[in-house]
Structure 1
């Protein structure tokens, strides 16, 4: 049986994980995922994104979750607290990514469960996210009790540059 672990790295730890996290981002983009990047994605671009993420962890505008399977990093997601005065109860979910070699093993679900637990612990009771309409992620969010807000046609581009629709979700967390 495989050993799955979810961790929340410090900013310093997140910085040291940049190459491994970049590998996941590159794999997802090369696999066709619409996750803000287009093909071809360079290592420099992917590492730059996660270096900025590590800086956001340091400043408190992101909480990074990392999934390891048998000691190998295979997934990640971010909880991004809204840092404005009238929304202390809200946070956004960003970049749920699982390397193709780790898919269909419950990793994305485990990451989301850990994220929701942390959000509750931080006093965040309303979460939001978006994903490609019709994607496996969309089905995962529905399975986890997220509410569909709506679909925006042509909101983003797939990794290959083709337009895609985006589904927006929200979830109220019990206090």
Structure 2
């Protein structure tokens, strides 16, 4: 990274205080064309409602919310979803790995992913799963970080402006932290 970016886990209180900054990241990514579950126009209300649900999950212990900060600004975020079915207590999903356009190509995504893997490890997880747009920068990043490609689902989702895109699923086996 060309400048210092700090990665940290947000508490529910901190996440609530950062709803505006988190919304800014999501809006920037969707307006930049990222297929991350939202369609254009991407409104502040839509983003705020999403992050409000995330904060509820953090407060309930169902997810971990990490952010990347360069100075005073949040430039990226990722979530580790801990809440899984009863027969999958060892698994977590990695979701909504978002990096603002102005902070891309500086190692922010890789730093967020390494921190997410560490957080999952500390939570006792050993199998991680994620999905991303096929052919995206995210797909290249995950491959570079040692994630294993499972397969592609054609026409899985829509781009924010419309039109179908394929999705690639990945998994990674990690050693959980020892108590």
User: Normalising by the residue count of structure 2, what TM-score does the alignment of the two structures yield?
Assistant: 0.95
Query: Runs of 5+ in structure 1 lacking a partner?
Result: none
1:119 partnered with 2:111: no
CA contact (8 A) 2:63 2:83 kept: no
Q: Which residue of 2 aligns with 1:7?
A: 8
Q: Paired residues, what number?
A: 175
1:26 partnered with 2:27: yes
Deviation at 1:140, TM superposition (A): 0.2
Q: Which residue of 1 aligns with 2:103?
A: 102
Q: Which residue of 1 aligns with 2:55?
A: 54
User: Normalising by the residue count of structure 1, what TM-score does the alignment of the two structures yield?
Assistant: 0.97
Deviation at 1:86, TM superposition (A): 1.6
CA contact (8 A) 1:2 1:70 kept: no
- Partner SS for 1:8: strand
Q: Which residue of 1 aligns with 2:171?
A: 170
Deviation at 1:118, TM superposition (A): 1.1
Deviation at 1:72, TM superposition (A): 1.3
Deviation at 1:19, TM superposition (A): 0.6
Deviation at 1:83, TM superposition (A): 3.2
Q: In structure 1, how many angstroms separate the alpha carbons of the residues matched to 2:123 and 2:49? A: 28
Q: Which residue of 1 aligns with 2:42?
A: 41
CA contact (8 A) 1:34 1:158 kept: yes
| Runs of 4+ that moved beyond 6 A | none
Superposed, 1:70-81 pairs within 5 Å as 70-81=71-82
Deviation at 1:160, TM superposition (A): 0.8
Q: In structure 1, how many angstroms separate the alpha carbons of the residues matched to 2:122 and 2:14? A: 22
